Amino acid sequence: MIHPLAPELRPASARDLAWLIASLVLVIAPHALRAPWWLTLLTLCLYGWRMYFVLNRAPLPSRWLVLGVAAVAMLGVWIEFRTLFGRQAGILLLMLFSGLKLLETRTHRDAAIAAFLGYFLVITNFLYTQTIPTAAAMGVALFLLTATLVGFSAPQRPARANLRTAALLLAHAAPAALALFVLFPRVQGPLWGLPQDAYAGMTGLSDTMTPGSIAGLAQSDAIAFRAEFQGESPPSAQRYWRGPVLWDFVGRTWSIGPTYLVDFVAPQGGRATYRYEVVLEPHNRHWLFALETAASLPERARMSFDGQLVANSPVRARLRYELASVIAPQPALNESAGALRRALRLPGGGFNPRAGALAAQWRAASADDAEVLGRAIAFLRQGRYVYTLEPPLLGRDSVDEFLFDTREGFCEHFASAFVFLMRAAGIPARVVTGYQGGELNPVDSIITVRQSDAHAWAEVFLAGRGWVRVDPTAAAVPGRVESGLARSVPQAAALPLLMRPQLEWLRGVRDRWEAVAHKWNVWVLGYNPERQRDLMASIGMRDADWRTLTATLFAFLGAMTLVLLAWSLKRLARPDPVQKAWRAFCRKLASRGIERAPSEGPRDYAARAAHALPVARQSILRIGALYITLRYGADATAAGVARLRQLVREFRPA
């Protein structure tokens, strides 16, 4: 157990490297699934290569060879991604460097730096996902890396003891970490521009709509947002979550077109008011979703002229906002002439002639707009249309083909056809996209809205009634709105797994899990500057600025360190029980005037005391003899120690 060199200067042994490599493998495992196969393989080969060197006691490869491997690998990454600095490419390079770093790791100090690189790789996993399972896996990796580091400082210690030390260290780190997490003054990022691909892969509604686009989105089980209502939540049929409004139609595609922001005016009247909180998943767009019709404005958001809530910056992190909505308020009866003209515009070029003719026929036969509307709804209701997630492909005249030939479609087909018909009949109309319904979790009463709840409906402008919502899908397929997507499409359709009705028990498990995941999202992942302010206010620190927070933080950390120091001292100061009992015995005798001289050994002292106190002679001599056996003898047993303590406790010098 004796070594002339300090641990950090000793060459890393096979055991230490095996620990390091095992923890690194765990850290890069999630990346390996995303990386090109050759890069994963190369990194693992570099790890294996390093193990080979240590097991065969071979000298490490020359620096030039390592640099050559690095250059080739970087070229490969460049060919794959056409950049070295994007998020994905950068992370994969980092993963590769962990292998290259190992190849120039000689001493424990080098190895420790490789372990720090491992800590760094842990955080890169969070760029992709921050779910509870990821956190748990990375927690394990963190523990192993820490145990590895402990091993570097104590190479001759059994691994088990090092694991125990690592666990103790992490347990001691936890209170400080919690304090830092809660109190560290949070700044809203980003501090500077992020790589181009930083927000790739976020799903959600788009600013355009073509036949099949929402059907594609609806096959995703991903969560769009969660809403928690104060008190009762509205019934499913009233849960229209308003998203982007599409005005402009060019043949096949609907798009938002030019838009502008207006001052918010709260709507008047209405049947019921709901107050709720939304936790919106990032979708890299400005839109916020609100139950129709929004009666308040969230922070840092405004309203567009067509009633769409718009955040000041794209939603790139999970966003929490509070909102109020009213059901069926008094409508705004006025609309600008420009907007109405825009809501009548149809593409030139003779698109959809049959639908145009039908609309003209309705117009001719009807007295007013309301009657045209009635005829259109009746037409859809009686048309035996099929609601399907896999609609047939449509050609140039998409509305005609859907209405008269294929008769199978998803909500965007119905909305698109209906708005076309209305405009062709001279009634201003627009498409509204958003989400409809959402699932009420019985565990925590939170409504979860998924991408599979994506929906499109229509709004028509009627004189004297303003903009009126019409859901052509609901007219044609009433079940869609009443009971959700799952019950309204035929069984064979490709529904997301968990939406299939047979799997009720699985849904129960999922409900419970999602209730936990929601708390995680709100309290851990959603802990941002606002949350911090709210929390501080709720514990009585109003308007806590960064100075207050920092002062509190440092006070806490200082106290924490003192507690730890006290702990370490206590462990040290804990006296030997034998000594403690003996000192108690000496005190008892001292109270009778028989004090032990500093140079007096236990045998002499006991003899003197026995002589001075003949009454207690027996027990004094027994305690003295037992103490000598336990303190200086070879076999101090726990029973003996207990016996000594008992004897001393029962000892009465009087």
Residues designated as active site: 411, 455, 471
CA angle 19, 25, 26 (to 5 degrees): 95
Residue 255 β-bridge partners: 208, 248
- The closest alpha carbon to 224, from 289, 160, 161, 270, belongs to 289
Tell me if 167 contacts another protein by CB under 8 A.
Answer: no
Q: How far is the CB of 158 from another protein (least distance, A)?
A: 10
* Residue nearer to another protein on the CB measure, 57 or 570: 570
* Segment interacting with another protein (CB under 8 A) among 17-25, 154-162, 428-436, 476-484: 154-162
Find the shortest distance in angstroms from Cβ 118 to another protein: 10
Cβ-based neighbours of 154, under 8 Å, separated by 6 or more? 7, 161, 162
| Binders of another protein in range 355-394 (CB under 8 A) | none
Select 198 or 515, whichever has its Cβ closest to another protein: 198
Beta carbons of 407 and 385 less than 8 angstroms apart? yes
CB 111 within 8 A of CB 105: yes
| Residues sharing a CB contact under 8 Å with residue 589, sequence separation 6 or more, in sequence order | 595, 596, 609, 613, 620, 653
Helix, strand or coil for residue 571?
A: helix
Cα distances from 567 to residues 172, 473, 598, in angstroms, run 10, 68, 31
C-beta of 38 vs 184, nearer to another protein: 184
192 part of the interface to another protein, by CB under 8 A: yes
Residue closer to another protein by CB (options 386, 641) is: 641
* Segment contacting another protein by CB under 8 A, of 134-142, 307-315, 338-346, 366-374: 134-142
The rounded distance, in Å, linking the Cα atoms of 644 and 171 is 36
**Is there binding between residue 187 and another protein (CB under 8 A)?**
yes
Kindly give, in sequence order, each residue whose CB lies less than 8 Å from that of residue 391, ignoring residues fewer than 6 positions away: 211, 212, 215, 402, 406, 408, 409, 410, 413
| Residue for token pair 């400005």 | 286
Binder of another protein out of 22, 198, 346, 377 (CB under 8 A): 198
Task: Report the C-alpha gap between 361 and 481 in whole angstroms.
Answer: 30
Which positions from 208 to 247 touch another protein by CB under 8 A, shown as an x/- string? ----------------------------------------
Binders of another protein among 525-554, rule CB under 8 A?
Answer: 525-528
Distance CA 261, CA 305 (A): 6
Q: Which of 130, 236, 255, 366 binds another protein (CB under 8 A)?
A: 130
**How far apart (Å, rounded) are the C-alpha atoms in residues 238 and 235?**
6
Residues 89-108 that bind another protein (CB under 8 A): 108
189 binds another protein (CB under 8 A): yes
Residue 267 as a binder of another protein (CB under 8 A): the answer is: no
Q: How far is the CB of 61 from another protein (least distance, A)?
A: 24
Only segment of 146-154, 342-350, 397-405, 421-429 that touches another protein (CB under 8 A): 146-154
Q: Which of residues 507-526 bind another protein (CB under 8 A)?
A: 524-526
- Using DSSP's 3-state secondary structure scheme, residue 255 falls into strand
Could you count the other beta carbons within 10 Å of the beta carbon of residue 557? 15
Contacts (CB under 8 A) with another protein, residues 557-586: 557, 560-561, 564-565, 568-569, 571-574
Residue 116 in contact with another protein, rule: CB under 8 A? yes
Q: Which stretch binds another protein (CB under 8 A): 132-140, 474-482, 532-540, 613-621?
A: 132-140
Residues 595-614 close enough to bind another protein by CB under 8 A: none
Tokens in use for 103? 């190849």
**CA angle 307-313-319, nearest 5°?**
85
Closest CB to another protein among residues 62, 599:
599
Supply the minimum distance, in Å, between the C-beta of residue 157 and another protein.
5
Segment lying near another protein (by CB under 8 A), choices 47-55, 144-152, 297-305, 423-431: 144-152
By beta-carbon proximity to another protein, the closer residue of 3 and 384 is 3
Name every residue whose Cβ is closer than 8 Å to that of residue 211 and which is 6 or more positions away in sequence: 252, 391, 394, 398, 402, 409, 412, 413, 416
Residue type, 6: A
Cβ 105 to another protein shortest distance, Å: 13
Contact 626, 619 (CB under 8 A): no
The residue within the footprint of another protein, chosen from 149, 279, 343, 429 (CB under 8 A), is: 149
| Contact in structure between 415 and 473 (CB atoms under 8 Å) | yes
Site string for another protein, 280-319 (x = CB under 8 A): ------------------------------------xx--
Query: Does 642 engage in binding with another protein (CB under 8 A)?
Result: no
C-beta of 288: minimal distance to another protein in Å? 17
